[in-house]
Amino acid sequence: MDSAGATVRLDTWIDTRRKLEPERTAARTLAERKALTNAVATHYARAGKQEKSEILDRVCAVTGWHRNHARKALLRAARPQPTRTLRSGRTKYDAEVIAALTFCWTVLDRPAGKRLAPMLPELVPVLRRHGELDISEETAELLMGMSAATIDRRLAAQRQTTTAPRHIRAGSLLRGELPLVSWAEWDHTKPGFMEITVVRHHGGGPDGGCLRTVTATDIATGWTENRTVRTVNWVPFALNEIAQKLPFPILGLDSGNSGSEAEEILLHWCQQRRVTFTHARPTSGGNHHVGQKNWSMLHTITDGRRYDTTTELALLNRIWTALSRLTNYFYPQQHSVPADEPAGLRRKEFDTATPYRRTVRQPKVTVHDKAILADTYVCLNPADLHRQITAMTGRLHLLATSATAPSPHRAHHRTQGATA
């Protein structure tokens, strides 16, 4: 190859630049300098010492580079670049993985990725054991290893087409009010101190004759139980049933029904059982923790309709039994935990776990109660529970709709009465 080839290429490049822009021949932009080095790099690598020196002089004169930088740029351009091989085969998360992810997401009531990701390593084996997920080991490993961000990206399309009830955001629980009955110092880090409220299912109409649901949520573990009764006088019986179902004794109740008849009944129940009783300050949202459960569990099921029949009463309590097993054992919840930060800095950290897992971690819960919870957990199929709740909820709404719709027979009697 001619030793003056590099010089010829440089002169050709300069002549080209002169024709395009007669006022300048220097390579000023990054693209021009890159094109110049690519044009003479091969000749520079094969040239002798004298020719290399001449090429460097010309390159430095045109680009304004230092000789050391020009030398490195020419050698780098002359070095063969490795070609990037395209990944063959299927993508990491194919349609089978996304279908399994969507199923898990639906069973757990469509949680966010930060709540779903920690639960997948526990939920996927349970669903496979009960025959709900027929997937390979490779797919299961990919599913259990998905990050929260990946889950949110993969489920973005489904989220846009899904309408979910608006939840009440949890705030810091205020403990500034004076306790009405105090048998133990309030400590919401221990299981047994609960927030409670009585919800009326009047559907926007008169309260008379409507059913009432007692909702109790443990602050430390998030364990929630619901019971529906005929009248407010039956609230103590609902509390007795809830106390029997809880894996720990009730130590304190914080009522969200300030100034109502239900609060007087709750106060009397606590006095008889030496349970600390207090009430939240009257606000539109009531208690923060139980307010979350009202939206995520109670209001989603009842849908703001009126319920007042014996059939609806029995059906609601069947729903609460199945819902308790599904949510307390499998639904992840986020609780804020103290973060180790220097003074003056505030950063929130969250512990994501189910009420069941938080309960078994509590040293105050007896070994016997933990064994009962473990035996119950092994027998539960979350997908089957979800199907049962969906079917019973549909029947409940149908009963409420048929009860509110006027029948032709009733309409005929009303017409006759008006005429008379």
| pLDDT grade for 186, boundaries at 50, 70 and 90 | confident
One-letter amino acid at 299 equals H
Scored b (16 or more CB within 10 A) or e, 348-367 reads eeeebbbbbbbbbebeebee
* 105-109, 243-247, 400-404: segment of lowest average pLDDT: 400-404
**Each residue's pLDDT tens digit, 191-231:** 999 999 898 998 888 878 899 999 999 999 999 999 999 99
Nearest CA to 122 out of 99, 143, 139, 103 is that of 143
The pLDDT of 26-53, averaged and rounded, is 82
Nearest CA to 361 out of 216, 189, 217 is that of 189
Mean pLDDT over all residues of the chain? 80
**Each residue's pLDDT tens digit, 55-96:** 888 888 888 888 899 889 888 888 887 766 655 555 678 899
pLDDT score, position 369: 94
**Each residue's pLDDT tens digit, 251-263:** 999 887 766 788 8
Question: 70 with 6: CB under 8 angstroms?
Answer: no
| pLDDT grade for 43, boundaries at 50, 70 and 90 | confident
The pLDDT of 345-368, averaged and rounded, is 86
| pLDDT grade for 413, boundaries at 50, 70 and 90 | very low
- CA distances (Å), origin 379, targets 157, 325, 336, 382: 34, 11, 30, 10
Cα Rg of the chain (Å, integer): 35
pLDDT score, position 135: 93
| pLDDT grade for 410, boundaries at 50, 70 and 90 | very low
| pLDDT grade for 414, boundaries at 50, 70 and 90 | very low
What residue has token string 């709709």? 401
What's the pTM?
A: 0.69
What domains lie within the chain, and their CATH numbers? 5-78 (no CATH), 95-160 (no CATH), 193-404 (3.30.420.10)
